[in-house]
């Protein structure tokens, strides 16, 4: 493995966060391009046969095949690692590829995993359906109940997995407390930090050993492409993750890596504005007739508001709320919206709304949905970058029309 010791990389580590987002990881070609170059190549050529041998042995620097590494993808990985404050980052084709690889690279038959129940649908499928097929035992807990975590950890627990804030219930899990419990039995904590983004919640500083992202969400943030990332120690990448990725191939396309690199340049501006818009929207919704309950970590009414204030720097970009009258009323409300679109993506510049019980969480049994607080009247709003007054007036007119 190449070690990050050139002078350029030491300089990058001195930069403040906003500078890292714009410039971190940039490696110019001999042409001196301003924007990062897009290296759309599957392979690489060598000066001579000895050079090929040396690169394959890892004794000479350079790329050998884009399933293993690519200059544009490497720039994205380096920039995101700098933003997160992680030693290492590996990019993947999607967020789900990141979650799957982060878990499968370290687990084997006979291992035990503890996971919070309130997970993104596909994450829940991996832990509750796929892992047990390979002889991995999984205990699901209610993530906000520390006693349940404490009771679930065992000497053979290899890792803990959680998402905070969760989707779509926006539950906040105490990362420091869960990481202390995990580390107490020698297990690793894996955090899906998508809803918080690298900016609002420093998951690694709070004790996560491995952080995963769907870059499809806020990192792209403009609805263009899929991507994912895994951040961790260099040792985890070198010894466990890299062999898994090299041989299974969930690689990020250099084109998508380039789009995501450009997304990182404006991530803080977008997330900051979206959080301000989300707080204003949540405050408005709390006072609207027809809204039974508003879930937003930045509101004093949120059940884990104090914890959210401690571990997050803002309440996030997503607001969930219950509409009185169940599914029919929620559908009517969605259909009356004029500007805000019905879509299950999130973290986008455009405000998007979804009805989790019939879309993202449709496959769950009714009692599973009930346990997660996903009622038939619940809607999840991803607040975008439009003028907040336009977002508020659209919500207001749709609610008043009921």
Ligand X SMILES: *Cc1c(COP(=O)(O)O)cnc(C)c1O
- Chain residues binding ligand X by CB under 6 A are 94-96, 99, 120, 123, 163, 167, 192, 194-195, 214, 216-217, 226, 228
Residue 373: count other Cβ atoms within 10 Å of its Cβ: 18
Residue closer to ligand X by CB (options 153, 195) is 195
CB of 332 to ligand X, least distance (A): 26
Residue nearest to ligand X (CB): 95
CB of 192 to ligand X, least distance (A): 5
Residue closer to ligand X by CB (options 211, 385) is 211
The three-class DSSP label of residue 191 is strand
* CA 329 centroid distance within chain: 31
Contact 116, 173 (CB under 8 A): yes
Rounded Cα gap, residues 204 and 217, in angstroms: 20
CB of 220 to ligand X, least distance (A): 9
Contact 307, 175 (CB under 8 A): no
* CA 214 centroid distance within chain: 4
CB of 77 to ligand X, least distance (A): 16
Altogether, the residues listed in the chain come to a count of 402
Residue closer to ligand X by CB (options 25, 228) is 228
Residue closer to ligand X by CB (options 228, 384) is 228
Of 293, 297, 339, which Cα lies nearest the Cα of 318?
297
CB of 95 to ligand X, least distance (A): 2
Residue closer to ligand X by CB (options 66, 216) is 216
Rounded Cα gap, residues 145 and 213, in angstroms: 24
Residue closer to ligand X by CB (options 226, 231) is 226
CB of 401 to ligand X, least distance (A): 30
Residue closer to ligand X by CB (options 39, 195) is 195
CB of 310 to ligand X, least distance (A): 21
What residues contact 136, with CB distance under 8 A and at least 6 apart? 107, 108, 109, 110, 111, 112, 113
Rounded Cα gap, residues 64 and 251, in angstroms: 14
CB of 283 to ligand X, least distance (A): 24
Residue closer to ligand X by CB (options 228, 263) is 228
Of 382, 358, 4, which Cα lies nearest the Cα of 170?
382
Helix (H) or strand (E) holding 352: strand 352-354
Contact 95, 212 (CB under 8 A): yes
What residues contact 372, with CB distance under 8 A and at least 6 apart? 117, 118, 166, 169, 361, 364
Per DSSP, the residues of 366-393 read: HHHHHHTT--TTEEEEE--SS-HHHHHH
What residues contact 120, with CB distance under 8 A and at least 6 apart? 163, 167, 192, 194, 360
CB of 288 to ligand X, least distance (A): 26
- The b-or-e profile of 269-295 (16+ CB within 10 A means b, else e) is ebbebbbbbbbbbbebbeeeebbebbb
CB of 193 to ligand X, least distance (A): 8
Residue closer to ligand X by CB (options 81, 252) is 252
Residue closer to ligand X by CB (options 78, 380) is 380
């Amino acid at each position: 493995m190449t070690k990050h010791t050139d002078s350029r990389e030491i300089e990058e580590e001195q930069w403040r966060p906003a500078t890292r987002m714009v410039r971190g990881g940039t490696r110019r070609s001999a042409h001196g391009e301003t924007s990062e170059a897009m290296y759309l190549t599957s392979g690489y050529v060598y000066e001579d046969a000895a050079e090929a041998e040396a690169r394959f042995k890892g004794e000479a620097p350079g790329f050998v095949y884009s399933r293993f590494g690519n200059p544009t993808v490497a720039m994205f990985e380096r920039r995101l690692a700098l933003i997160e404050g992680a030693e290492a980052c590996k990019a993947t084709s999607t967020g789900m590829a990141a979650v799957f690889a982060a878990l499968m690279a370290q687990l084997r038959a006979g291992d035990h995993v503890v996971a919070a129940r309130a997970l993104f649908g596909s994450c829940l499928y991996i832990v509750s359906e796929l892992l047990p097929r390979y002889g991995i035992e999984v205990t699901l807990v209610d993530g906000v109940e520390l006693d349940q975590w404490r009771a679930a950890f065992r000497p053979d627990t290899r890792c803990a997995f959680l998402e905070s804030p969760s989707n779509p219930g926006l539950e906040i899990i105490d990362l420091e407390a869960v990481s202390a419990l995990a580390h107490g039995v020698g297990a690793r904590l894996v955090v899906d930090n998508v809803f918080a983004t690298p900016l609002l919640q420093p998951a690694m500083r709070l004790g996560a050993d491995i952080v995963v992202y769907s870059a499809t969400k806020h990192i792209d943030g403009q609805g263009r492409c899929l991507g994912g990332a895994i951040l961790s120690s260099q040792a985890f990448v070198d010894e466990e993750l890299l062999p898994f990725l090299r041989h299974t191939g969930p690689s990020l396309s250099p084109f998508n890596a380039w789009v995501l690199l450009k997304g990182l340049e404006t991530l803080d501006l977008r997330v900051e504005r979206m959080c301000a818009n989300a707080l204003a929207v949540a405050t408005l919704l709390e006072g609207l007739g027809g809204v039974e309950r508003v879930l937003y970590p930045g509101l004093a009414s949120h059940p884990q508001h104090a914890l959210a204030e401690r571990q997050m720097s803002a309440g996030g970009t997503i607001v969930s709320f219950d509409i009185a009258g169940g599914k029919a009323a929620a559908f009517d409300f969605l259909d009356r919206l004029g500007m805000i679109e019905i879509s299950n993506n999130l973290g986008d510049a455009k405000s998007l709304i979804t009805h989790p019980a019939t879309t993202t969480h449709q496959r769950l049994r009714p009692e599973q949905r009930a346990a997660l607080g996903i009622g038939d009247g619940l809607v999840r709003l991803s607040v975008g970058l439009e003028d907040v007054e336009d977002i508020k007036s659209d919500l207001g007119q749709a609610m008043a029309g009921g």
